Structure 1
Amino acid sequence: MRLKITDGTVNYILRKDTKSKDDLYALQLRYSLHGNTPVSYMIGKSILQENWDNDEKEAIYISKPIAKKLAPDVNFNLFLSAHGVAEINAMLSDIELKIKGIEDRFRMDGVDYSGSDVIYELKNMMSGKSRQKIDKGKKISVVDFIEGNENENKGKLTESTIKHYTTIRNMLSDYDTLKKKVHYTHDAGFDYFNGVALFMVSKGLVNATIKKRLAQLRVFLDRARKKGYRTDESFRDFSWSEKETDVVALTMGELKKIEAVELKTERLSKVRDVFVFMCYTGLRFSDVLNLKRHNIRGDFIRLTAQKTKDLNGIPLSNKAREIADKYIVSDNDLVFPIPSHQKFNEYIKEVAELAGLTETVEKVRFSGAKRIVKTFPRKDQVTAHTARRTFVTLSLELGMKAEEIMPITGHRSYKSFKRYVKITEKRAKEALLNAWDK
């Protein structure tokens, strides 16, 4: 059994909820300081429970005859060899030495530290990242750091991102005013996040917005730490649940109504054309706004997305090509004449109303545990972003696979894309029930 060499308490356990198909369990480190709640870290090793001595907290060697008696159905090759046992135990001892070194450095720097601080540094060491020296005399308020970060990167940020940062900064400033306290990065931990979240609930913000703002706040605190400011790493343990809301997308019938409706003004006709073009290509409003003639090459659009800075290749369907050709003949380098985002959303609602999208719909959202139900005409749900959602949803319904659509739309992960799969499944269910339960 290893002697205790750290100030905090180090414990290793087998996570029983991580059992693999081969009966392997992940080894987890739990570190607690001064009796506080343990902070966990998965060390990246998995073993059979027969190879683990839970009393001594170390791996043990099991010979083949004994292994056959303990676990007759388990392939012996999954058991640790004597070398494998020695390797894992050496790793556990090395982790404790690293933790002791981290504790010692914090003390030498004169910095008060938490269990979260130690595990944060351990993760950096295990991944090969260099340690960021923390200056105990260097401090800054959360609000001031966000403002400084915004000013420092102003030339690199889009107008919408600056607006998003300003909204968060103003909200946190209001929270400071309410609490009659300036919150610094070193005391913006779990309790601070909880207080800010409840403050947003009191302002009537829905869970999706709260979660998004807290995620951005985490990014700011990560940047603060990298710049040498102290942070309370317990903020990483805070989470805010968000009940996923339905994606608002047009059905094929609704899209055809918008395409077919007779419009008497050029203003609405142009907006309708751009909206339909986005429905057929999946482009974001910001990308259509900046779409230039040279971006259209043959049957493809090739452009760098404003939001992600990724170079995307979007195939043009016959309908999309027809709309583009209608406008590309002008002398303007930009393909489409587009009003501001606000005006576009205002005009496309007019188009949707004229197209008959007037039935009453219900939207359910949550603020904390409070369920908020709003009803309004379907036309009020139609915005510029509805077009992109419509492209994805209808593409799925028409038989395209997720992996075929994601390169077109620029979705980087299936996690963000799967919401569209859910709405497609929901529509399929509704269609079946309407057909069979009449």
Structure 2
Amino acid sequence: MRSTFNVLFFVKKNAEKKDGTAPIVARITINKKVSQFNTKQYIKPDDWNVELNRAKGRTAEARAINTVLDEIKNSLYNAYNDLTKKDIQVTAEKVKNTFLGIGVEQYLLMELFEECNILLQKQIGITKSKATYQKAEVCKRHLSNYLKTEYKRSDIDLREINHSFIVGFETFLNVQCGCNANTTAKFIQKFKSIVLTAQKNGWIQIDPFANYRITIKKVDRGYLNDDELKRIMQKCFSSERLERIRDIFIFSCYTGLAYIDIKNLRQEHITKGFDGNLWINTKRQKTSIKTVVPLLDIAQLILDKYKGLPNGVLLPIPTNQKTNAYLKEIADVCGITKNLTFHLARHTFATTVTLSKGVPIESVSKMLGHTNIKTTQIYARITNEKISSDMLLLSQKLKCSEMSLA
């Protein structure tokens, strides 16, 4: 005969904390035998609806608590149903222990993170980039340091992760690691993907991210306008070092290639296209995505200028750190107030050199090696000059149509 099973929640008023909140306890009853545990949710007794077993009101805090309680209740019912299929003598204590993971196999966060990163490392150059793996390793290191600093532990059972743990990690990234809002959000996203893996494998029943929102703020990526680009191109430098860096920067402005892809550029990547013109055919190191760019005259002139370098190198580019340091000197000499970094050249290609000159965004996306056009939209900004020229064209068309008010 099937046993009677019930779950209810109550506030343990005699365990009230200094802030006036008290723990919400889950009580499991099977055949009049009781077992209970702390849900790790806290509420002020006056905010608790005794009859409904729920937090009162429609505040965000009340909804968050009720969502967790619903998940706990569903998980307890699932645990009970699973046990009844295996064991005739199901007790409240067995249901509680199954839910809490007591007496069952442990699934550890850092252990799972390490396994996921090993799989990720194997995909480098196939479906994932080295940079993606390196970022995952940094996230794992931050999470490990968070556990050691705040919990004095080297690992934690995945079932122990809750909203408080996530918020604590966010604070740790902001304060101890000095991460900005977007970097923090991306690390939290990676952490969430590990938790999602555990969920998909059935190792945890409740989603600790259910009431946690990850927000990535839009960043207005800079670029050089036509005037600034011309100033750098036409500047005569007394230093050969700065002239060399200027040339390579301009090459990037007219090809859209990132620093590492220019560093890797070899003669075999310059091929004659179907149209009889020279094209750059290469793969982006960051994503392993193929990128094809017609070689514009300015870019060709720069390649010709440095022809004959040893080891098949096409351009004499130093380290990224030195390149960016020299670009700051160039900015000063040319009166550029923007933060001139090498990656700004890629943004300039997307915005000033192509989109603002009427090149369709689909073509720009392909040349930048993007798989998603939304990524291109982040880089690209339509300038006021482009809007002005487009509207001037429209104005002329309207005049030609001789439309006028009666």
Q: How far 1:269 moved relative to its partner?
A: 2.1
Q: 1:351 to 1:164 in 2, by over 3 A?
A: same
1:146 maps to 113
> 2:255 aligned with 1:287, yes or no?
no
Quote how far apart the aligned CAs of 1:102 are. Answer: 10
Determine the structure 2 residue equivalent to 1:175. 146
C-alpha distance after superposition, 1:182-218 (max 9, x if no partner): 4333333443322212322334432111112112222
Structure 1 position 331, deviation (Å): 4.1
Structure 1 unpaired stretches of 5+: 1-6, 9-30, 40-99, 115-134, 360-377, 433-438
1:403 to 350, 359, 362: 362
Q: Please name the residue that 1:346 is paired with.
A: 325
State the SS of the aligned residue for 1:302. Answer: strand
Q: State the partner residue of 2:271.
A: 297
Give the drift of 1:419. Answer: 2.7
Flag the 1:222–1:384 CA change in 2: closer, same or farther, 3 A.
Answer: farther
Q: Could you say what secondary structure the match of 2:291 adopts?
A: strand
Residue 310 of structure 1 deviates from its aligned partner by 1.4
SS in structure 2 of the partner of residue 281 of structure 1: coil
Q: How does 1:4-403 map to 2 (within 5 A)?
A: 35-36=70-71, 136-142=104-110, 144-150=111-117, 154=121, 157=124, 160-161=131-132, 163-182=134-153, 183-203=156-176, 204-223=178-197, 230=204, 233-235=207-209, 238-298=212-272, 299-357=278-336, 359=337, 378=338, 381-394=339-352, 395-403=354-362
C-alpha deviation, 1:307, in angstroms: 1.2
Q: Distance in 2 between matches of 1:223 and 1:104?
A: 24
Deviations 1:159-187 (A, max 9, x none): 64454334323322332234225433333
CA separation in 1, counterparts of 2:210 and 2:355?
36
Asked whether the equivalents of residues 269 and 281 of structure 2 are also in contact (C-alpha less than 8 Å), the reply is yes
- Residue by residue over 1:275-311, the C-alpha shift from the partner in whole angstroms, topping out at 9 and shown as x without a partner, is 1111101111121111111001131111121111112
Provide the alpha-carbon RMSD of the alignment. Answer: 3.8
Distance 2:210 2:300 in 1: 48
2-structure distance, mates of 1:254, 1:107: 74
TM-score in terms of structure 1 length? 0.58
* Aligned residue type for 1:354: V
Give the AA of the match of 1:350.
E
1:35 counterpart SS class: helix
Q: 2 CA distance for matches of 1:288 and 1:241?
A: 33
Distance 1:180 1:305, change over 3 A: same
- The answer to whether the 8 A contact 2:185-2:216 is kept is yes
Take 1:162 and 1:320, find their aligned partners in 2: how far apart are those partners? 33
Q: Which secondary structure does the structure 1 equivalent of 2:306 belong to?
A: helix
Letter in 2 for 1:309: S
Q: Residue deviations 1:192-250, cap 9 Å, x none?
A: 32221232233443211111211222233345566785475332653222332211111
Secondary structure of 1:245's aligned partner? coil
2:146 and 2:169 in contact (8 A); partners too: yes
Helix, strand or coil at the partner of 2:298? helix
Q: Partners in 2 of 1:224 and 1:37 — Cα distance?
A: 17
**Distance between the aligned counterparts of 1:383 and 1:155, measured in 2?**
32
Distance 1:342 1:38, change over 3 A: farther
- Summarize deviations over 1:368-422 as a string: whole Å, max 9, x none: xxxxxxxxxx3xx11111111111111221112211211111222233222344x
Residue identity in the other structure for 2:260: S
Equivalent residue letter for 1:417: T
Q: CA deviation at 1:104?
A: 5.1
Asked if the contact 1:185–1:231 (Cα under 8 Å) also holds between the matched residues in 2, the reply is: no
For the residue of structure 2 that corresponds to 1:242, the secondary structure is coil
**Paired residues, number:** 301
SS class of match (1:332): helix
Residue of structure 2 in register with 1:94 after alignment: none
What is the match of residue 59 of structure 1? none
Task: Check the 8 A contact 2:357/2:386 in 1, yes or no.
Answer: no
Percent identity at matched positions? 25
Higher mean alpha-carbon deviation, 288-297 vs 240-249, is at 240-249
Shift of 1:345: 1.1
Say if 1:279 and 1:391, in contact at 8 Å, map to a contact too.
yes
Cα–Cα, structure 1 residues 233 and 355, in superposed 2: closer, same or farther, change >3 Å? same
- Where 1:191 maps in the other structure, the secondary structure is helix
- AA at the equivalent of 1:251: N
Q: Which amino acid aligns with 2:185?
A: K
Counterpart amino acid of residue 272 in structure 1: R
- Asked whether the equivalents of residues 136 and 230 of structure 1 are also in contact (C-alpha less than 8 Å), the reply is no
Query: Which residue matches 1:365?
Result: none
Describe the shift of the 1:148–1:270 C-alpha distance in structure 2 as closer, same or farther (beyond 3 A).
Answer: farther
